[in-house]
A and B are shown apart, each in its own frame.
Chain A
Amino acid sequence: MLVVVFPHWPIVAHPIVADLAAIVVENGRVLAVSSRARAHGVAIGQHVREAERHSPDLARFARERATEFHLFTHVVQKIHELAPNLIVREPGWIAIPTRGPARYFGGERTLVHVIDQTIRDLMESQGVRCDWEIGIAEGSFGATLAARDGVIVPPGDTAAFLADLPVGLIGEPELSDLLERLGIRTLGAFAKLRESDVLERFGMRGFFAQQRACARELVWHTDYINKEEIASLQHFDEPVGELETLFESAARLSEAFCELLRERGLCCTICELSVVRDDARTDTRLWQRGHGWDTRALTERMRWQLSSWMGGEGQMNSDELLATPGVSALSLRAHEVIDAQGSQLGFWDQVRENDQEMARVCVRLEGMLGQNMVMQARLDGGRGPIERVSYFAFGEPGPRQTKRPAMPWPGRLPLPNPALVYGELPEIVLVDVDGMNVSVDRRGILHGTPARVELGRGRVFEIKGWSGPWPSEELWWDPRHATRCARLQLLLRGERALLVLCSRGRWHLEGEYD
Chain B
Amino acid sequence: MTRVPSGRSLLVAPQIADDRRPRARHQALLEEVHRGARDLSARAQSLALLPAFAALFGSRGLRCGTTVLVGGAQGQGATSLALGLCAGPTRAKHWVGILNLSRASLLSASELGVALDHLVVIPHPIERVAGAASILMEACSLVLLGSDRPVSAHDARRLQRRAREYHCVLLVLVPPIPARSSSSLKVAGQRHWPEIPDTLIEVTKSSCVGIGHGEGHLSSRQIRVEIAYRRGPSVPKVHELFLPRAKSRLPSDGEHHAPIHVGLHDVGLSDDDLHGVG
Contact = CB atoms under 8 A, between A and B. Distances in A.
A and B: bona fide binding partners: yes
Interface of A: 227-238, 240, 242, 244-245, 248-249, 252, 255-256, 259-260, 263, 352-355, 357-358, 360-362, 364-365, 368-369, 373-379, 385-386, 388-389, 391, 394, 405-406, 413-423, 446, 449, 465-468, 489, 491-492, 494-498, 511-514
Contacts, number: 248
B254 interface: yes
A358 B95 contact: yes
Contacts of A242: 2
B8 A235 contact: yes
B75 A255 contact: no
Nearest to B116: A377
21 contacts: A228-B13, A237-B8, A238-B5, A244-B2, A248-B2, A252-B33, A353-B37, A358-B140, A374-B122, A375-B121, A376-B117, A415-B250, A416-B108, A416-B111, A416-B260, A417-B111, A418-B105, A418-B108, A466-B213, A495-B76, A514-B74
A368 B9 contact: no
A386 B38 CA distance: 37
Contact of A491 (B80, B83, B119, B211): B211
Contact of B79 (A385, A495, A514): A514
B80 A361 contact: no
B93 A354 contact: yes
A369 B135 CA distance: 12
A249 B46 CA distance: 35
A416 B138 contact: no
A229 B74 contact: no
B12 interface: yes
* CB-CB nearest 3 A-B residue pairs: A496-B75, A406-B254, A361-B139
A467 B217 contact: yes
B93 A229 contact: no
Given A245-B4, A385-B107, A418-B105, A376 B75 contact: no
B1 A368 contact: yes
Interface of B: 1-16, 18, 29-30, 33-34, 36-38, 73-80, 83, 93-95, 102-112, 116-117, 119-124, 126, 128, 131-132, 135-136, 138-140, 176, 179, 206-208, 210-221, 243-244, 250, 253-254, 256, 260
B132 A365 contact: yes
A495 B208 contact: yes
Given A417-B108, A420-B79, A491-B208, A229 B16 contact: yes
Given A416-B250, A513-B218, 19 more contacts: A227-B16, A228-B16, A234-B7, A240-B4, A245-B4, A354-B139, A358-B120, A368-B1, A376-B119, A385-B105, A385-B107, A416-B220, A419-B80, A465-B212, A467-B215, A467-B218, A494-B179, A496-B74, A513-B221
Nearest to A421: B105
A91 B50 CA distance: 47
B108 A413 contact: no
A382 to B, nearest CB: 10
A385 B215 contact: no
Given A238-B5, A361-B136, A373 B126 contact: yes
A513 B75 contact: yes
B226 to A, nearest CB: 17
Given A231-B14, A233-B14, A415-B244, A256 B121 contact: no
Contacts of A229: 13-16
Given A252-B34, A415-B244, A466 B211 contact: yes
A419 B104 contact: yes
Contacts of B126: 369, 373
A358 B139 CA distance: 5
Contacts of B109: 419
A497 B208 CA distance: 8
Given A368-B128, A369-B132, A237 B7 contact: yes
Nearest to A232: B11
